[in-house]
Amino acid sequence: MIRLICFITVFLGISLDAAAQTAPLDEKKFTDSLNGLLNGNADAAVKARANFALSYYWSDLDTAQSWQYLNKGKALSKNNPYLQALSNYFTAAYFWETNKPLAKRMYMKADSLLARFRLPEAYQYRARAWLGYGSLLQNEDQEKKFMDILLARCIPLAQQAPDMGMLGNCYLNIGLVFTNTLHYEKAAEYFLKAIPLLKSSPYSSVLADTYMRAAKNYILQKKFTSARAMLDQAKALLEPYPASVFTIDYYQVEGMYFDRMGLYIKAQLSFDKGIALAKQKNKSYSVESLLFEKYKTYSRQSQYENAKQVLLHILQQPTFPFASNRIRHYYELAGTYGKLGDFRKAYEWSDKALLLLDSTSEARIKTDINELEIKYQAAEKQKKIALLSAEKKHALLTLKNNRLYSWLLAGACLFLFILVFFIFFYYKSQKKIASQKVVELEQKQQIELVKAMLNAEESERNRLAKDLHDGLGSMLAGIKISLSAWAKTKTQDAELQQIVAQLDGSVTELRHIARNMMPQTLLLYGLEAALKELCESVMRNNLSLHFEAINLEKTIPLNAQITIYRIAQEILANVIKHAHATSILFQCSQNRQRFYLTVEDNGQGFDSTAPIAGMGISNIKNRVAHLNGSIELHSKPGEGTVINIELDV
């Protein structure tokens, strides 16, 4: 939800004068108004802001659209230093899900660059940048660091803006941290501080969320009258927008209220409504939270089998990285198995919970685990006693019928069974290991073969380029000089002049071929310069290409640089040959030892699910495999093509 709150507050400062707009509970109306700005006669700065806002909106829904809007906004901001600084915030938002380390760096870059501007809006976006950075830390279970950022960074910047809505948003997040750490009284104080600030601001979505968070906090305190009042306030705001993502949270808190009041049928109905809407909106974590509340309702009704099935369903589809969630699910499942009488399973799940616990919560759960272990041991002892009693009766009945022979025979059978099982298991294991070794050897040989082929190809390219440039190129250049000198004395000979022109074109073409075989720019100035030159070389009157490089380092090995260049060369050649595109986006970035390459065009596209024939794609895949990389290709007829490549450099 922190991510969603950041999403909403970003849209509040897109207008010309940096004043807050109405929160986008009606998402369609909001996006239509931004598209209206883009299609109208607004100036470049206004259109840049609209593109940034749409990029943020689509970042959770369609990364391709989000990336397009982001780059359009950057292009419109080229002559505006302030908007250039602001673009780093939206770049961080784009990478929030896919590249969290890069997102953190971009948030901090945005804060650093915006600090140069003493503008209210600059303070607003610096506060939002720190809120986004803190939410990434919270995503890593670093609640204390997130609280420090809220108190020391976000609140002072919101007060400097001054932006009372943003200040209310900060209080809301502080309340959430206190709720997560079970300090319900402190949480209620900050929720109540946030509400009047948000009421006097356009942050209506955040206000609705605050009402729901306060209601949930009151439910946990068993203050049901106060909880109902908060729910009614949220319902009044959300009723015109039944498909809003905030309605999902309303159904969850309403279900919790009904559950605690003993109205279990109403509670389950509310949870089911929330689950359906969350699935429609692709909010997997909300689905998990609603299912967990549904589990608790079953448990309160002593329907432990249903409760167990809900918990197992949650664990089969993990959706959120918080360790506290997993601990809670393990621990609750252990308790449910205990209530069902399956103490072995209860002990196993309790042990899993213990492994995830930190030192502050370990002692609290250990006592319960010890109790479960005692119950398990007692149950095992009862089983042993019953078994011994049965064996004693059997022994008394069969004592006169060759008791010793029976036991020897039983022991021999058991031994033979164990021996056969061991031999079978050993045979299967050895067969599996041998099969794996054969597959690994074949894969290794294939990789070595591809590497040898690529290295041989590059070596031959280098040799041919040198021979063409130094040998044939020098000879043709000498002939051209001699023939040009002679042609000066034969100015009236048109055929001779034509021959000189043709020879000049041949020399130029020869140099172009030699440069393609081994680009000198790559050897002299590095990968970024070579890729930029390659992109510029494919531009035409009817074809525009936008090139962007982020954090490329000079330390990439030369062999890897050449391979990356060949991949880019092959992709652009395929686009020009087959796509019939008018616009190409070429973006590359580096994060430590990983290199990312994205090429997107607006061409005719093709069915990427069908088998693709041709040497071009095969060459690209071989070179990607050479650098232990991966490739994703997305295309549909008439919708262009997007290629995403990740390489190990």
Looking at the chain, how many residues does it have?
649
205, 169 contact by CB (below 8 A): no
Window from 120-134, 248-262, 456-470, 587-601 with minimum mean pLDDT: 456-470
Q: For 431-459, what is the mean pLDDT? A: 63
> What are the φ/ψ torsions at residue 475 (nearest 5 degrees)?
-65, -45
pLDDT of residue 7: 37
Average pLDDT, the chain: 80
Model confidence band, residue 366 (pLDDT cutoffs 50, 70, 90):
very low
Q: For 99-120, what is the mean pLDDT? A: 93
3-state helix/strand/coil string of 528-544: HHHHHHHHHHHCECCEE
pLDDT of residue 325: 73
Q: For 203-213, what is the mean pLDDT? A: 90
Q: Using only C-alpha atoms, what is the Rg of the chain?
A: 34
Find the helix or strand (DSSP H, E) in which 575 lies: none
Residues facing residue 634 across a β-bridge: 642
Q: Is the pLDDT of residue 373 over 50?
A: no
Q: For 141-158, what is the mean pLDDT? A: 89
pLDDT of residue 401: 67
pLDDT above 90 covers a percentage of the chain that reads 34
Window from 71-75, 202-206, 302-306 with minimum mean pLDDT: 202-206
The per-residue pLDDT for range 76-99, each reduced to its tens digit, is 999 999 999 999 999 999 998 889
Model confidence band, residue 581 (pLDDT cutoffs 50, 70, 90):
very high
Q: Is the pLDDT of residue 379 over 60?
A: no
DSSP line for 114-135: HTT---HHHHHHHHHHHHHHHH
Find the helix or strand (DSSP H, E) in which 550 lies: strand 544-550
- CA–CA dist 526, 545 (Å, integer): 20
Greater confidence (484 vs 359) lies with 484
pLDDT of residue 367: 43
Tell me the three state secondary structure of residue 320: coil
pLDDT of residue 18: 26
Tokens of 180: 């997560």
Find the helix or strand (DSSP H, E) in which 601 lies: strand 594-601
Q: Is the pLDDT of residue 505 over 70?
A: no
Measured on CA atoms in the order 406, 411, 412, 416, is the torsion positive or negative? positive
Q: Is the pLDDT of residue 204 over 90?
A: no
Q: For 302-320, what is the mean pLDDT? A: 81
Domain 1-162, CATH? 1.25.40
Q: Is the pLDDT of residue 54 over 70?
A: yes
pLDDT of residue 479: 66
Q: Is the pLDDT of residue 17 over 50?
A: no
Burial state string for 453-472 with b = 16 or more CB within 10 A and e = fewer than 16: ebeeebeebeeebeebbeee
Cα 19 to chain centroid, rounded = 31
Closest CA to 60 of 97, 91, 26, 28: 97
> What are the φ/ψ torsions at residue 634 (nearest 5 degrees)?
-120, 120
pLDDT of residue 234: 93
Model confidence band, residue 6 (pLDDT cutoffs 50, 70, 90):
very low
Query: What type of residue sits at position 627?
Result: L
- Taking phi over 0 as left and psi of -120 to 50 as alpha, with beta for the rest, 544 belongs to beta
- CA–CA dist 351, 39 (Å, integer): 60
- CA–CA dist 465, 476 (Å, integer): 15
Tell me the three state secondary structure of residue 391: helix
- CA–CA dist 23, 11 (Å, integer): 7
Find the helix or strand (DSSP H, E) in which 643 lies: strand 641-648
- CA–CA dist 341, 308 (Å, integer): 12
Tell me the three state secondary structure of residue 630: strand
pLDDT of residue 372: 40
Sheet holding 630-635, edge to edge: 544-550, 583-591, 594-601, 641-648, 630-635
321 cis-preceded (ω within 30 degrees of 0): no
Greater confidence (41 vs 8) lies with 41
The per-residue pLDDT for range 156-188, each reduced to its tens digit, is 999 998 889 899 999 999 998 888 888 899 999
Domain 522-648 has CATH 3.30.1330.10: no
